[in-house]
Copies of this chain bind each other. A is one copy, B any other.
Amino acid sequence: MRFEVHILGCGAALPLPGRNPTAQVVNVHEKQFLFDCGEGTQIALRHGRIRLMRIDHVAISHLHGDHYLGLFGLLSTFSLLGRSRALNLYGPPELEALVLAHERAGESVRGYPLHFKSTQTDAPEVLFEDGSVSLESFPVRHRIPTTGFLLREKPKEPGVKRDWIRKLDLTLTEILALKRGEDVHRADGTAVLNVQACRVPLPPRSYAFAADTRYWEKVSEWVEGVSLLYHEATFDASMKERATKTFHSTATQAARIAERAGVGQLVIGHVSARYENADALLEEAQAVFPNTIAASDGLVVQVGFIPVKN
């Protein structure tokens, strides 16, 4: 099953050519979740050949312009393209009023229902779940109320191997027992051992987007053991004071959170416009947490099956 993060933009507050503001679209089991929606995201989606109409969930971390100003154009484009399917929007409470204010100003009629669920910054919260995935928000520490988002695959039940079902002519009752982890003892004295008859399911994968945040150890609890963590790294270690003051993180701090949380892989983004590229920040982070990569516009990262520490 697909689980990949397509980075549409990973720049910081100042948008520059080739450095779009923050947005990622995550495809998990062919469901598309858009995390943040900076100015120009709809164009970045088209550049990435992502089918806009497949996006059913948009989650906004906070109301700084570089994280949400592309939303209003995208919502309008959905209507122009004839969308009728409902869209789920998650974000700070003020976001809904802004959406409605823009619609009122343009006297525009949305062609589809918008289900808005406001986020809070007290504790992690499940925003959405279905049979195979769940979406949670978790608080981070930024200048204004901000949440990260965590997308998890649900654990899969162990499946009974098809050839064993056929070979042993297993009954439904026997199959269900095996799925529950039991061994089956038959009337003829033979036994079907769960450990032999069942496939071990792949471990569930997870992706966390820690948005804009200063270094906050609590974040490592919220994202503990995720397969892939996107953590901002606006500054290098020499600018730690400025990072704290502006409620941002250094590359070292991002890597420390990844290490504390025991994540599979770290991707750093939201690099300040003062850096020509992320090379130095990447090196800095890798010194603390080697399995780190740098985000770049257009990069697609597969969420891997990296064993969770425990």
Contact = CB atoms under 8 A, between A and B. Distances in A.
Given A69-B72, A77-B15, A105 B39 contact: no
Interface in A86-121: 92, 94-95, 97-98, 101-102, 104-108
Contacts of A15: 42-43, 73, 77
Number of copies of this kind of chain in the complex: 2
Contacts of A105: 63, 92, 94-95, 98
Contacts of A94: 104-105
Interface residues of A, number: 38
A64 interface: yes
Contacts of A73: 15, 21, 39, 65-66, 69
A223 to B, nearest CB: 25
Given A39-B39, A39-B73, A98 B102 contact: yes
A177 interface: no
B107 A101 contact: no
Nearest to A75: B65
20 contacts: A14-B80, A15-B42, A15-B43, A15-B77, A16-B43, A17-B43, A17-B46, A39-B69, A39-B70, A39-B73, A40-B43, A63-B102, A63-B106, A64-B106, A65-B72, A92-B105, A94-B105, A97-B101, A101-B101, A107-B143
